[in-house]
Structures are given as C-alpha cells and as structure tokens.
Structure 1
Amino acid sequence: MTQYLVFQLYAPLASWGLEATGEMRHSSAVPGRSALLGLLAAAVGIRRDEEQRLNAFNQHYYFAVCPRFSQQTRLRDYHTVSMPRENRKRFYATRRDELLLAPQEVGTVVTLREYYGDAYYHVAVRATPQAPLSLQALQTALQKPHFPLYMGRKACPLSLPLFPYLATGSLAHVMAQAGQRLPAPKDDAIAPIVEASAECYWDDPDETSIPAHEQRMCSDNPLSRKRWQFGERVCYVGTLPVEGG
C-alpha cells in the first residue's frame, strides 16, 4: 500500500505558466510539476536562491492532479511593459539597470497573461524513500506555510485552506476518496464545478491503478532555479475509475 499526502487547491484565478514565447503568456489547465514543487518548497521555507537545497528537494516527489471543474473559464489580462531595445553591446544585470542605464533605448511592449477562473484541484503527493522531508512534515508545512502560497502567480492567492491529510491505498482509491474528504467550495455559483472532471494527470511511472490513455512530454521539470532551466518529463493522463462501478 502506498502513502499519499492529499490536499486541495482553489482560487478565483490561477495561472500555470507554459513556455513563454512572444507577447502571449499561456497557462496550462492544470498545475505542472514545477508549480507544485514550488508550492511545497515555499511551505517548508526553502528560498529561491537556495539552489542546492531546491535541487535535492525537487528530485524526490511524484504528483497526481485531478481538476474538479465542469467548465473552464479562461481570461486574458492585457499588460504593457517598459523594456530596452536589444543591444548586444550593453549588459543589464538588474531591472533597475534596464530602465536607468540607457533611458533613450527603453520602449513599450505588449504582453498578454492567461488565467483560468474558478480553478479547483485535488492533488496527491508520493515521496521516494530518499526524500529529504516526509509526507508528515509536508502536511505540517501546508497547514502553516513559511511563505505565502499562490496559484501560479502572486496575484492568485489561495481562497480556501488546503486541508492536507495523509491517505494510504492506490492512487485511484485515494483520489476517489478525496472528493468525499475535502471540503469543496460552498458558494452556489461555484459548487457545480466539483462534480465534474474525472480526468487525472500524474508523473509516477510506477502508477498502474488508473489506466493511462495518453502520455505527454512536459517541459516543467525544474533543473536550476538560478538559470531558470527546465527539463522534460513524461506526464500520464487517464480517467479516474468510479469506485464500485
């Protein structure tokens, strides 16, 4: 039997960044591996500049995510950003340098940010035997996080407690039970979202209790926070079986 840490994520707005190309900043429909690792690291108090500690932490946890909404509402936010024109002869070490060292080169560019509205998820975490922190330690950290937690962007704070708990069993059983154990949003306008999607996404190659009907290559496996470098991983997609069905 496998032990999991299970919790919920809900916010009116969420943005799970994909590869940033051009003026559009797209969002995935589900939180990726880097986002979930970042959330756990923030909860336990690992800082972004602690490269060695982050790298050790990031290698030892597997995630499964079940979106629990019936309709996906996507929003786009319009931004303009002051940026210097490309100049290979000039190096900017900080944002302050970009704006002050050569003000005559600063122009305005458009950038669009994508968000999902009323995003609600069930998340399960499995730890490897070599994990630096136990699932019990992560549960305690999520109950009283060291740093503020948010849904992808700082403008997307959590709107419900995570209610983390430990569960034992197959991933299919644990995710099916999460719908009964986690207190979903109570607002009449929001409640229908929790009755829907039984789709599940996971990255544990040893998981067999949920039949996978798709494999995807995702570029959200954090390799270096300092260099902002990510590697690929295999993400499995399957339909959560109905217990007793």
Structure 2
Amino acid sequence: MTPTGVLVLRLAGPLQSWGASSRFTRRTTESAPTKSGVIGLLAAAAGIDRDDDEALAPLTALRFGVRIDQPGTRIRDFHTAHHAVTGKSMPLSERFYLADAVFVAALEGDHTLLTRLHTALRTPHYPPFLGRRSCPPAGPVDLALHADARLENTLRDVPWQASAWYRRRHRHSPPHRLTVLREKTTDDTSPADTLRDQPLSFSATHRRHALRSIVTEQVPLPAGRPDLPVEHDPFEALTDDLTDVPDEESA
C-alpha cells in the first residue's frame, strides 16, 4: 500500500484572489482558495510547465481541503490596461480580491509526491502567488508535512493561524468554530455542493476544469498557539496603545 500523508499550507497575504467562474471583464473571487489555484501554486513551485498535463496529473489527484481561519474582506478594483503595441485602451474590468485573509489549505495523497512538493515550496522554481501574480504571500507558504495523516483530522487539529493583530482584536470574543471546505470522498454521505475548480489542464490555449464535490462543515477552534511567522506591522505600536481606550459611547 502506498504511504499517504497530508501537506499543510498557510495562505496569508495583503490580497488574495481565487477565481472559479471569472469571465471577460468581471474577475470574481471565491471566499476561500480553490483547488485549481493551490495546485497551480504547487506546480509553479515544482517547475511544472503549464502545458505538461502528464506531470500535472498526480497533483490534481491529491485530495484538497481548506479551513477559513481569518475570512478577510472582499474588495473591488477597477483595472485599466493598454495594448503593448498599439497603445489602444483595453476594456475596463472589475477585479475582486480578499484583503487580510488567512487560510489553512491541506492536500492528502502519496507521501513521496507530497515530500517533493514540500521541498519545492522551500526552494520554488517559480515564486508562489495567492491566486494571481499580483498577490504574493506575506510569508512562507509551507506549514507542515504529516505522515499517515487524514485530511479531516489535520484541518481540525492544526492550531489557529489568524494574524497576530486579528487575534488581539478578537481576544475577548474569539470564534468558537471555523469553517472547513473539504473534497468529498466516494463513501461520504454528507450533503455537498459543486465547484468547477478541479484542474484538468493549465494550458494557456485550452484551460480545462471539471466539477468537484465539496462538503462544508464547522470544526471547533483548535487549542494551542501557532508558531506564526514574524511579521513587521508598522501600526502595531499604535494598535497596542488604543486597545484599551473606550469608544465614545462607552466613555
């Protein structure tokens, strides 16, 4: 029997955008990372060419799930562009992003493959990005690699990964439960939704995605404190000074 494992990622950055149904001048984002977006991140780190469907296939076979640790805020941007040769203005487009969001993504499958991907994330061939090239991560993406693990247990047990400022803001009323979106197994009888984010090909001339069944569930806020990456927050001193200052209504 092939040894299995779970690769865990922390996806955090100023902006993220995970489109599953973007068309023409309206580029939307889902409320959580898509499988196609995360597989694309891993393929880029491993140096897999976007036209190499054979090399991509083992990655797409991995089972995927994500936990929403910090929902973030949806924002909209109007994007303008000009043709590189003629200088003619291109159509105005709307692009949607998630600001200040943090997710825990997990992939379950062949442990040897996950080990190679874990190594690739630490020395990526191409730099990782969070859905779009304009959305770099705020810190290291790789979080952990677990042997003989299950996706459900991992997404339930990984410590809460919300940013330090978010934890301070919610220290008196932290969330009791976190939302998990996990890929449904064939023997699972849980109700599921579908999303067209199962990648079949990333070829620029013929991108293809299939429908994927997703189970949504709530898990208790995990115990323990995470080993968060060191972040420089220029407003941290100001935030700490104002933490205990009452607002006008309560003064």
TM class by shorter-chain length? Answer: 0.7 to 0.9
Task: Mark the CA change 1:14 to 1:140 in structure 2 (over 3 Å): closer, same or farther.
Answer: same
Letter in 1 for 2:79: H
Give 1:192 shift: 4.8
Letter in 1 for 2:121: L
Structure 2 CA distance for aligned equivalents of residues 2 and 192 of structure 1: 38
Match of 2:194 among 212, 217, 223: 217
Residue 117 of structure 2 is matched in structure 1 by 138
Instruction: Provide the TM-score with structure 2 as the length reference.
Output: 0.73
Task: Mark the CA change 1:81 to 1:53 in structure 2 (over 3 Å): closer, same or farther.
Answer: same
Structure 1 unaligned blocks of 5 or more = 84-95
Residue 89 of structure 1 is matched in structure 2 by none
* SS of corresponding position for 2:45: helix
CA contact (8 A) 2:6 2:150 kept: no
**In the alignment, is residue 238 of structure 1 matched against residue 240 of structure 2?**
no
Letter in 1 for 2:134: A
CA contact (8 A) 1:42 1:145 kept: yes
Structure 2 CA distance for aligned equivalents of residues 215 and 79 of structure 1: 35
Structure 2 unaligned blocks of 5 or more = 224-251
Give 1:157 shift: 0.2
Residue 27 of structure 1 is matched in structure 2 by 29
**In the alignment, is residue 38 of structure 1 matched against residue 18 of structure 2?**
no
Task: Mark the CA change 1:2 to 1:46 in structure 2 (over 3 Å): closer, same or farther.
Answer: closer
Task: Mark the CA change 1:189 to 1:221 in structure 2 (over 3 Å): closer, same or farther.
Answer: closer
- Give CA deviations for 1:97-137 in whole Å, capped at 9, x if unaligned: xx55xx9xx66421000000011011111015xx8x52222
* SS of corresponding position for 2:131: coil
Task: Mark the CA change 1:189 to 1:202 in structure 2 (over 3 Å): closer, same or farther.
Answer: closer
Structure 1 CA distance for aligned equivalents of residues 45 and 170 of structure 2: 27
Residue 153 of structure 2 is matched in structure 1 by 173
Question: Does 189-198 or 138-147 show the bigger shift?
Answer: 189-198
Task: Mark the CA change 1:243 to 1:157 in structure 2 (over 3 Å): closer, same or farther.
Answer: closer
Q: Which has the higher contact order (CA 8 A, sep 6+)?
A: 1
* SS of corresponding position for 2:100: strand
Match of 1:122 among 91, 104, 112: 104
Task: Mark the CA change 1:207 to 1:14 in structure 2 (over 3 Å): closer, same or farther.
Answer: farther
Structure 2 CA distance for aligned equivalents of residues 222 and 166 of structure 1: 23
Task: Mark the CA change 1:73 to 1:15 in structure 2 (over 3 Å): closer, same or farther.
Answer: same
Identity of aligned residues (%): 27
Give 1:25 shift: 1.0
Task: Mark the CA change 1:22 to 1:190 in structure 2 (over 3 Å): closer, same or farther.
Answer: farther
State the 4+ residue runs in structure 1 displaced beyond 6 angstroms: none
Structure 2 CA distance for aligned equivalents of residues 140 and 191 of structure 1: 33
Letter in 1 for 2:93: T
Give 1:16 shift: 0.5
Structure 1 CA distance for aligned equivalents of residues 8 and 152 of structure 2: 12
Give 1:57 shift: 2.8
Structure 1 CA distance for aligned equivalents of residues 168 and 152 of structure 2: 23
- Give CA deviations for 1:52-80 in whole Å, capped at 9, x if unaligned: 322x23442111100111x5311111113
* SS of corresponding position for 2:92: strand
**In the alignment, is residue 185 of structure 1 matched against residue 163 of structure 2?**
yes
Structure 2 CA distance for aligned equivalents of residues 75 and 243 of structure 1: 29
Give 1:204 shift: 4.1
Residue 76 of structure 1 is matched in structure 2 by 76
Give 1:220 shift: 1.1
Letter in 1 for 2:62: Y
Letter in 1 for 2:98: Y
Task: Mark the CA change 1:53 to 1:241 in structure 2 (over 3 Å): closer, same or farther.
Answer: same
Structure 2 CA distance for aligned equivalents of residues 120 and 204 of structure 1: 23
- Give CA deviations for 1:125-167 in whole Å, capped at 9, x if unaligned: 1015xx8x52222211122222100101111001021243122
Query: RMSD in angstroms over aligned alpha carbons?
Result: 3.0
